[in-house]
Structure 1
Amino acid sequence: MPTHPLNSHDGELSPLQHDFPFDPTHGHDLPRLLAVEAPEGPDDFAGFWRERHARALGVDPDPRIEGPWTTVDGVRIADVSYLSTDGIRIGGWLTVPADGGVTQGCVSTHGYGGREAPDPWQAPARTATIWPCLRGLGTRSLLPGVPPNSAGHVLQGIGSRESYLIGGCVADVWCAATALQRLVPEAAARLTYLGTSFGGGIGALALPWDDRFHAAGLTVPTFGNHPLRVTLPCTGSGESVRTRLAEDPAVLDVLAYFDAATAARHLRIPVHVAAALFDPSVPPPGQFAIHNALAGPRELLVLRAGHFDHPGERAETAALEEAQRHFLSTAGRTEAPHPAA
């Protein structure tokens, strides 16, 4: 699939009015965004992640359906939980077609605002989807001593690559896939991924090493190109990282292992990316760095804005969700399997 914008936002649009003390485009138009590169990363970047993936695959997730099933608009919904690495039990939801006709599975993650309920309409029809609240976040996976807000969560354990909480969140995705396959075996035939903002960055970090996944959709993904990202002011988690880096420059050495754009260099499955031209929370250059670095088939939908109310947002969101559902249903179906990088 060629790389191309799927909408008309590459044309001239009136600037969005805002009162931020910085420019949420960071001076990048679309051509400049499409030229942003990804860091090479440490020599042992891939080895670090392969070892963590192997460790996660060794976990028995012991998935549990908790409480009764409910049915809404042709979808059955249940609370679920499963074990991830470090002995942490992750909470979330499972949704399946009410008629039982499952043709694929999906792991769907959330932004830094967490999740209070699943959004079944986001996934394609005939999909069994697990909706985990990644560790320390959401209503189902809060942890003692871990701030549930983005500013604190993104710094948890950042002193070393082994203790950084973001690595545990990536493991939660791998263990969610195992739990989903245990709960709905038919989901293993074709496993996909959906992630927005925080979940988009986590997906880029998780997917290159796990050959169970066939396609993915990443929306306004974060954690892209940390060396550039820490120079760009924002209202999201990156701002607390910028502040911490000013106090401890060694943090950048840890972040090098958690760069979603570096990981995208190893990601060879088909990926749909929705990236924004204007975003006060996740700087657009980092979003596009992830897309630009993807090593496999990719499709780009250019959003006028992310994390910001703007004219036409409702129609833009509807077009995005429809594009992602189509992509996750069709991408890669005629291609040979691709081994993990």
Structure 2
Amino acid sequence: MIPAPYDEWFAGSAIDGTYGYDLADLRAVEPVEAAAGFAETWRTWRVEASAVAPEPQLTPLGRVGAHEVSLVEHTAAEGLRLRAWLAVPAEGAARVGVVHGHGYGGRDAPDFSRVPADAAAIFPVARGLGTLNAGVGAPAVKDEHVLHGIQAIETYVLGRCAVDLWHAADALTEVAGPLPLYYIGESFGGGIGALALPWDDRYVGATLIVPSFGQYDLRLGLACEGSGEAVRRHVAVHPEAREVLRTFDASTAATFLRVPVRVEAARWDVVVPPPGQFAVANGIERAAARVAGAELELAVLPAGHAEFPGIDDVRADASAAGLAHLERALTRPAVSRSTRA
């Protein structure tokens, strides 16, 4: 039985987007423990990525609000040339760099709603996805994309997309200078960001919005309408793929974060099941209890990946709170993140 008010908001939904979890249950979801070699694998990829020159090439597009926007092409892993939008303040110098991820639909244009006027920003588009990189390095169809390369840790697309975020940040800092970085990512971009951030010391904070790819131990048992359904069905036929996925669990990576992170997690979501979202938040909380630097700011959303009464106010409040979190992260006293537990 679908609980109120979701029974009215989402009448006719074939899936109970709470999956039977109340808020206390969600806050109790444990992140997946790191598999042997988890951190070493990611650190090795980070070192390898840092040796790649971004070689950005800019095509100016004009002014959008407070920013001058260009199309940028840059080098990424395996020698791919990926395209993104890059923006710099139209007036004055930038004081922070924002790397802004996206959902599994790709993106058609940059979104400045969470980007300060005095920030330089890059809006990467994941390999294979539209509008800018459709078919480049991975299939464009979501259910094919999420399974691309799943036969091996070294080739799985989620890892390659996380590595590509480091290359996007390289392109941004090559153009705008060595700025402190802040990450923003939603859904696919939230999960990919959680995977990439712990290994990149340039970041001072992040906002992860309804993050995906968290807690595969639960995720693989929950039917959904997002990319996780293709993965769930694949693993049911190819159980050996579960071992590959252990390296790409966003809840595991979250336990290695060492910066303040705002997580906006939803109580109801049939695209990214809430237990996976909250596992990412809970992983950050676990990190914060163990080491200096990590800090969780949790915002509980009524629902994710869906329209509901009052959504415009929820979105406006979340954007304002996200900008405030960026400001606090930027002015927070520096904490050494050179030693990782």
Corresponding residue SS for 1:282: coil
Offset, 1:72: 2.3
Offset, 1:13: 4.9
For 1:54, which of 47, 54, 74 is the aligned residue?
Answer: 47
User: 1:195 aligned to 2:195?
Assistant: no
Counterpart-to-counterpart distance in 1, 2:185 and 2:203: 13
CA spacing shift, 1:97–1:211, aligned 2, 3 Å: same
Task: Give the TM-score taking structure 1 as reference length.
Answer: 0.93
Counterpart-to-counterpart distance in 2, 1:125 and 1:275: 26
Offset, 1:145: 7.5
- What is aligned with 1:147? 139
User: 1:29 aligned to 2:27?
Assistant: no
Counterpart-to-counterpart distance in 2, 1:117 and 1:111: 13
User: 1:336 aligned to 2:334?
Assistant: yes
Report which stretch shifted further, 239-248 or 68-77: 68-77
Report which stretch shifted further, 99-108 or 214-223: 99-108
Kept after mapping to 2: 8 A contact 1:124/1:326: no
Structure 2: which amino acid aligns with 1:292?
Answer: N
Say what the alpha-carbon RMSD is for the aligned residues.
Answer: 1.4
Gap regions ≥5 residues in structure 1: 1-11
Corresponding residue SS for 2:268: coil
- Aligned identity (percent) is 44
- What is aligned with 2:250? 260
Report which stretch shifted further, 198-207 or 92-101: 92-101
- What is aligned with 1:269? 259
Corresponding residue SS for 1:301: strand
Offset, 1:248: 0.4
Counterpart-to-counterpart distance in 1, 2:337 and 2:267: 33
For 1:160, which of 152, 157, 163 is the aligned residue?
Answer: 152
Offset, 1:144: 5.3
- What is aligned with 1:64? 57
Alignment of 1:47-196 (within 5 A): 47-66=40-59, 68-143=60-135, 146-185=138-177, 188-196=178-186
- What is aligned with 1:7? none
Structure 2: which amino acid aligns with 1:177?
Answer: A
Counterpart-to-counterpart distance in 2, 1:176 and 1:144: 15
Task: Give the TM-score taking structure 2 as reference length.
Answer: 0.93
Offset from partner CA, 1:162-181 (integer Å, 9 cap, x none) = 11011110111001111111
Structure 1: which amino acid aligns with 2:16?
Answer: D
Counterpart-to-counterpart distance in 2, 1:274 and 1:313: 14
Higher relative contact order (CA 8 A, sep 6+): 1
Structure 2: which amino acid aligns with 1:46?
Answer: A
Offset from partner CA, 1:210-248 (integer Å, 9 cap, x none) = 111110000000000011101011000000001101110
Counterpart-to-counterpart distance in 1, 2:223 and 2:301: 20
Aligned residues: 327
Kept after mapping to 2: 8 A contact 1:25/1:279: yes
- What is aligned with 1:303? 301
